[in-house]
Amino acid sequence: MFKKSFLSFLAVVFMVSILLAGCSSNQPSGGEEGQSNVKTKEIKKEGKDITIAVAENFISMDPHDTNDTLSYSAQKTMLEGLLGFDKEMKVIPVLAESYKASTNAKVFTFKLKHGIKFHDGTPLNAEAVKVNIDRLADPNNNLKRHSLFEMVEKTEAIDEYTVKVTLKKPFGAMINNFAHPAAMMISPKALKKYDKEVARHPVGTGPYVFKEWKPGDYLKVEKNATYWQKDLPKLDSITFKPVPENGSRVAMLQTGEADFIYPVPTEQAKAINGKKGIVVENDPSIVVRYMSMNTMKKPFSEKKVRQAMNYAVNKEAFMKVVMQGYADKMDSVIAPETQFYSAQKTYDFNIEKAKKLLKEAGYENGFTAKIWGSNTSSAQKAMEFLQQQLSQVNIKLKIEPMEAGTMSEKIWSVDDPKKANIELYYGGWSPSTGDADWGVRPLLGGKDAFPPKSYNTAYFDNGKSNELLNQALQTADPKVREEAYAKLQTLLWEEAPWVFLSVDHTMLGKREYLKGVTLLPDGSLTVTDGEIVQ
């Protein structure tokens, strides 16, 4: 009798195998069609309350003290800045009516819109703006975004609706810094009342009002009935839920528990798109993926080794295997939609050339190195891919995935750059000012950007590139800046402090009835125009 049951068990395994074989080979053609035919009734939404599932926990609701794009996404429902970005990352006025920059990039004047009030009734005027900029500019406040405003010398309220900001030294990218979500305005009254605790009680001018935040569980915002833009907002409330597990997030969208999710895991994007009233949208972002190499350490101090590694990695395969095709080729240190981008000649996959360069550098037999990165499944996949690629030129990688806490301790609590243990690091960067300066300086801006101060995980310190970076900041004249950044990008591409991998796509998944909610190229969410159309 037992034999019988064992045989039938074997039979089941066998049948499942056949079934799986059938499923996977038919997938591209038959699978999808079959599904759409079975499309039953349309999915309806009741009420105007939506749920957005996101991948990580929110850290803070104080824009001045935030350095993750995700927290900004939630903050942007409640707070607004003088300037902002449109869908192409072009700077647009928000709370400001107009703005002016002096040609030497030292004095910036803003005219404010009239009649705007914070959620607590405080009027938005020059004085309120001054309080905010002063808070950011004061190093004693220890705010994470102080670095964007450290060059501010003074802020003056000229009249009720005019603000003048004067800088200590010219800073050409300042307009973009003002458009960065870090410069969003908090009610001065709330700042006084809550002080540091304002991170849990955000009061701004935005279309939604803060309701409740249970960290790790959910964050809820409600409609601002007295919003300054006419007929907005169109939703009653938005609930954000952090759901780190990719599969669960997708399931929430499929069951209707969430109306919008991001990011959609690239592995499942094709499978869920167009089914059960779900739409997946992907657009080029300004998020770059790279592997930085510690240029202070051997063998990465050798330019030829760095270039060889760039040649040894097949970027097309990276985009296909790791990103499932939802990525673009990276052809400069910054993404095409970043201001002042200029394309470079790419390092095309060429094992022979890589081997030749390694031989010239004296590493004919390769070497061993360790690569650090996050422990998310996508980062691990990328690191494993790099391991496979570099093994072709005898470079053996040891993968060390780390959770966020360990990583920040290992990378950002290094006092002496010479003692830094980091060798290779797989990471990504989203320059939320949309400007070349913020895309390069924090990552490759010489000694000032070394950890723990900033994100220069390549410990890259090149006199010429530092000079170009500074030069570009001396003026607000876009022509002059463009020229400097073009030279800079060519130089950095040649120096290759990173293995340049790809430019991400933003991946969002939503229900068909939800319109107007979208992602900016920096990966942050905008919901101002969100509405339900059935």
Partner 1 sequence: MVQANLAHQPKDKTELARPQPVQVKARTPLSEFWRKFKKQKMALVAGSFVLALMLIALVGPYIAPYSSKEFDYESILAGPSLHHWMGTDAYGRDIFSRVLEGTRISLFVGLFSVLFGALGGTILGIIAGFYGKWIDSVIMRICDVLFAFPGILLAIGIIAILGPGLSNVIIAVSIFSVPIFARIVRSSTLSVKATLYVEATKSLGAKNSRLIWKHIFPGTVSSIIVYFTMRIGTSILTAASLSFLGLGAQPPTPEWGAMLSSGRDYLNTAPHVVFYPGMAIFVTVLAFNLLGDGLRDALDPKIKD
Distance of CA 433 to the CA centre of its chain: 11
- Identify the helix (H) or strand (E) that includes residue 235: none
Residues 458-517 binding partner 1 (CB under 8 A) are none
**Considering only 9-17, 149-157, 177-185, 199-207, which stretch makes contact with partner 1 by CB under 8 A?**
9-17
Number of H helices, E strands in the chain: 16, 21
User: Rounded to the nearest 5°, which phi and psi values hold at 506?
Assistant: -80, 135
| Closest to 333 measured CA to CA, from 230, 448, 455, 189 | 455
Q: How many CB atoms lie within 10 A of CB 29?
A: 9
Which CB sits closer to partner 1, 182 or 272?
Answer: 272
Q: How far apart are the first and last CA of the chain?
A: 59
> Is 25 one of the binding residues for partner 1 (CB under 8 A)?
yes
Whether residue 188 is preceded by a cis peptide bond, meaning omega within 30 degrees of 0, is: no
Alpha-carbon span 326 to 266, nearest angstrom: 7
Scanning the structure block, which residue is given the tokens 């030294």? Answer: 169
Residue 531 has φ and ψ, to the nearest 5°, of -155, 165
Judged by beta carbon, residue 36 or residue 534, the one nearer partner 1 is: 36
Cα pseudo-dihedral 332, 334, 335, 338, rounded to 10? -130
Q: Considering beta carbons, is residue 223 or 510 the nearer one to partner 1?
A: 510
Size of the site for partner 1 (CB under 8 A): 42
Q: Please give the full DSSP string across 474-498, using - where no structure is assigned.
A: S---HHHHHHHHHHHHHHHHHH-SE
374 binding partner 1? (CB under 8 A) = no
Taking CB under 8 A as the criterion, the residue among 150, 400, 483, 512 binding partner 1 is 400
User: Whose Cβ is closer to partner 1: residue 14's or residue 90's?
Assistant: 14
Q: Would you mind telling me the total number of residues written for the chain in this entry?
A: 534
Separation of alpha carbons 22 and 35, rounded Å: 16
Beta carbon of residue 268, minimum distance to partner 1 (angstroms, whole number): 5
Place of tokens 């309120």: 128
147-171 burial: b if 16+ Cβ within 10 Å, else e:
bbbebbeebebeeebbbbbebeebb
Among 43, 92, 158, 317, binds partner 1 (CB under 8 A): 317
Q: How far is the CB of 245 from partner 1 (least distance, A)?
A: 9
| Binding residue (CB under 8 A) for partner 1 from 247, 362, 452, 478 | 247
Contacts to partner 1 from residues 340-359, by CB under 8 A: none
> Contact between 3 and partner 1 (CB under 8 A)?
yes
Query: Measured from the CB atom, is 129 or 501 closer to partner 1?
Result: 501
Min separation Cβ 430 and partner 1, Å: 22
- Is residue 272 a contact residue for partner 1 (CB under 8 A)? yes
Stretch near partner 1 under the rule CB under 8 A, chosen from 21-29, 154-162, 498-506, 516-524: 21-29
Q: Is 377 in the site for partner 1 (CB under 8 A)?
A: yes
Min dist CB 37 to partner 1, Å, is 19
Interface with partner 1 (CB under 8 A), residue from 15, 21, 43, 404:
21
Query: With binding defined as CB under 8 A, does residue 391 bind partner 1?
Result: yes
**Residues binding partner 1 (CB under 8 A):** 2-3, 6, 13, 16-18, 20-25, 27, 246-247, 250, 265, 267-268, 270-272, 314, 317, 320-321, 375, 377-378, 380-381, 383-385, 387-388, 391, 398-401
